[in-house]
Amino acid sequence: MATIDSKIPEGPLAEKWSNYKAHQKLVNPANKRKLDIIVVGSGLAGASAAATLGDLGFKVKCFCIQDSPRRAHSIAAQGGINAAKNYQNDGDSVYRLFYDTIKGGDYRSREANVYRLAEVSNNIIDQCVAQGVPFAREYGGTLANRSFGGAQVSRTFYARGQTGQQLLLGAYSALSYQVQQGNVELFTRCEMLDLVMIKDEEGKERARGIIYRDLVTGEIKRCSAHAVVIGTGGYGNTYFLSTNAMGSNGSAAMQCYRKGAWFANPAFAQIHPTCIPVHGDKQSKLTLMSESLRNDGRIWVPKKLEDAKKLQKGEISPNDIPDEDRDFYLERRYPAFGNLVPRDVASRAAKERCDKGFGVNNTGLAVFLDFKYAIQRLGKKAVADKYGNLFDMYEEITDVNPYENPMMIFPAIHYTMGGIWVDYELQTSIPGLFAIGECNFSDHGANRLGASALMQGLADGYFVLPYTIQNYLSDQIQVPRFSTDLPEFDAAEKAVKDKIAKIMGINGKRSVDSIHKELGHIMWEYVGMGRTEESLKTALKKLDEVEKTFWSDLRVPGDAQTLNVELEKALRLLDFIEIGKLMAYDGLNREESCGGHFREEHQTPEGEALRHDDKFSYVACWNYQGEGKAPELLKEPLNYEYIKVQTRNYKN
């Protein structure tokens, strides 16, 4: 069994990152120009990394499946970005942000990585303000903050309900400047289809390039580099319906997994509590309503079952139910945090109420998020100033005015904490391959706190990878640039072309979307908010059947040698099926409940997650064993030296 070296530096927790930077190897400016780096992905993590590496003098090739990095899914982030600035003087600190993140992740993340994230968070705000990101400000001009789930301080910086868009425009500006300077070459509408590995003089395989497809022409092409960085986001679309953009996928990560990169904690998927409920079987995605709404919105269902039944039948409206007959169940169950409990806690609480029959829409799968009380307290204008664009979006989708009626919300798949395993340097188990942002596993444990995704993406891209990748590249300066005519590139390209030809040759009757929907139903039903040993074993059997259906009855129209969106989706669907199996294997192995992974056999009498730290305080790393074979489990122990591991408590 492989031994896992996470390369955590020595020394006290608060000094590890400083010590690392003080003693790491560097690459001088003249040598940086000799080194090529591929960055796959151009969202917040990818764009910030490509821009920063280009600014340092490396020659960067950045790949983007959209027609512009501005269309990356990072643009959809609404609520904000965390940082331990303590501008509110409310008791925040780097340590408190670190502790809240570890606790929010249910003690399933690496101490050193999380402390570094909290430590560099303040630099991110300074960087973005310097770029001109229009963060909200107080009347006197100082930067404003609001609260998010899992914290009792206000540390979230925001730009109304479009923080991701503004941060991405800042990163895009920096990236565009480096493109203009000639340090970054941007490949738009190009999708990575395989990782190329080449043995060095000592026989060690290193990541040296990629095979990619030009999505406009259909041409299969090659690109070489001294190191490869993937920043391609998460795999939430395995469930078909999620808050992710339809183009979001886990394919680059899976290509790396099949080449030997370990996949860590795949079962840790986040279900966001405030999404617009499913309203039919023709939907292609779900819409997130920002967690920031839980600052001023109050979540409730009727206390009386008969009121819930009347709501479900449309016989009464929510405004007909008096305050004394409303169950503000989060405030009742978790008085210390109220509506701002972490996402996994809020989602399970909503599911519990709906399972008991207290759901409020015609499907019984919704709860109310009510701003009546905030409008009474603050006035309609103040609420509109904070949340106006979110209210407008809700009304456009549902035709319900949230200033006059409560919003309806229900949990939905949103983010994936699992991902490619990385060490402290963000390097995977493959030398020369790095993973940043949501596509790695490193910082959020079993549950991510709100407003921490943007923080991690920009921390990795702007302030961590530009240091750590030099430690790897410092001994690569004598390695010449690679020709893409090498046999390793030939073999990888042939494998890709053979796979595409096989898919195009199936000529069945089922569309990609119909099979993907079937996959999504299986995942939500058997690997969703509540999981059991029986459901996970059933999922594995059904996923095998879905894979057989794919290879026997899929139909991809058109030609592979041109623009073909159905072929793009088919290639991604094949990876989603394998990700689904990985999630089921991981969930089956982890016989405990923690964060977003809730095994129904393992819960407290109050229905809370029940961890088993004596058995499962480790990172589950899955090692690919070949097509049709179960993956091998490797374990990285989680050792907590600086905090006390205890049961999460959001009640007092």
Q: What is the pLDDT of residues 344-380, one digit of tens each?
A: 999 999 999 999 999 999 999 999 999 999 999 999 9
Per-residue confidence (pLDDT) for residue 160, from 0 to 100: 84
Domain endpoint, select from 413, 441, 464 = 413
Residue 524 CB contacts under 8 Å (≥ 6 apart), including other chains: 239, 241, 413
Verify that 491 and 603 share a domain, yes or no.
Answer: yes
Domain endpoint, select from 373, 390, 413 = 413
Verify that 405 and 493 share a domain, yes or no.
Answer: no
Verify that 506 and 612 share a domain, yes or no.
Answer: yes
In a domain, 192, yes or no: no
In a domain, 54, yes or no: no
563: three-class secondary structure by DSSP: coil
Residue 148 CB contacts under 8 Å (≥ 6 apart), including other chains: 79, 80, 82, 155, 156, 291, 292, 294, 295, 340, 449, 450, 451
CB atoms within 10 A of CB 95: 16
pLDDT above 70 covers what percent of the chain? 100
Which sign does the torsion angle of CA 408, 410, 413, 414 carry?
positive
In a domain, 476, yes or no: no
Per-residue confidence (pLDDT) for residue 2, from 0 to 100: 67
End-to-end CA distance of the chain: give it in Å, rounded: 44
DSSP 618-644: EEEEEE---TTSPPEEEEEE---SSS-
Q: What is the domain count for the chain?
A: 2
Domain at 596, CATH number: 1.20.58.100
632 touches 626 (CB < 8 A): no
Q: Which among 96, 116, 343, 611 is annotated as catalytic? A: 343
Verify that 302 and 388 share a domain, yes or no.
Answer: yes
**Which run of H or of E encompasses 207?**
strand 205-214
Verify that 402 and 494 share a domain, yes or no.
Answer: no
Domain at 324, CATH number: 3.90.700.10
Q: Tell me whether residue 55 is exposed, middle or buried, using C-beta atoms within 10 angstroms of its C-beta: 0 to 12, 13 to 18, 19 or more.
A: middle
Verify that 389 and 491 share a domain, yes or no.
Answer: no
Verify that 409 and 278 share a domain, yes or no.
Answer: yes
141-168, pLDDT tens digit by residue? 999 999 999 999 999 999 988 999 999 9
Active site residue 343: yes
Which residues form the domain of 586?
Answer: 487-618
Per-residue confidence (pLDDT) for residue 161, from 0 to 100: 84
Backbone angles phi, psi at 519, to 5 degrees: -60, -45
In a domain, 86, yes or no: no
Look at residues 597, 595, 588 and name the one whose alpha carbon lies nearest to residue 622.
588
Q: What is the CA radius of gyration of the chain?
A: 24
Per-residue confidence (pLDDT) for residue 1, from 0 to 100: 54
In a domain, 58, yes or no: no
Verify that 381 and 508 share a domain, yes or no.
Answer: no
Verify that 497 and 583 share a domain, yes or no.
Answer: yes
Verify that 496 and 402 share a domain, yes or no.
Answer: no
Verify that 376 and 500 share a domain, yes or no.
Answer: no
Bridge partners (DSSP) listed for residue 416: 269
Domain endpoint, select from 365, 389, 413 = 413
Per-residue confidence (pLDDT) for residue 281, from 0 to 100: 83
In a domain, 555, yes or no: yes
Distance CA 195, CA 207 (A): 7
Residue 258 CB contacts under 8 Å (≥ 6 apart), including other chains: 624
In a domain, 124, yes or no: no
Per-residue confidence (pLDDT) for residue 283, from 0 to 100: 87
In a domain, 255, yes or no: no
Distance CA 39, CA 390 (A): 33
What is the per-residue burial (b if ≥16 Cβ within 10 Å, else e) of 96-127? bbbbbbbbbbbbbbbbbbbbbbbbbbeebbeb
Distance CA 296, CA 377 (A): 10
Verify that 278 and 402 share a domain, yes or no.
Answer: yes
Backbone angles phi, psi at 85, to 5 degrees: -70, -30
Backbone angles phi, psi at 341, to 5 degrees: -70, 160
pLDDT below 70 — which residues of the chain?
1-2
The pTM of the full predicted model, rounded to 2 decimals, is: 0.97
Q: Tell me whether residue 24 is exposed, middle or buried, using C-beta atoms within 10 angstroms of its C-beta: 0 to 12, 13 to 18, 19 or more.
A: middle
Question: Residue with structure tokens 């991981």?
Answer: 586
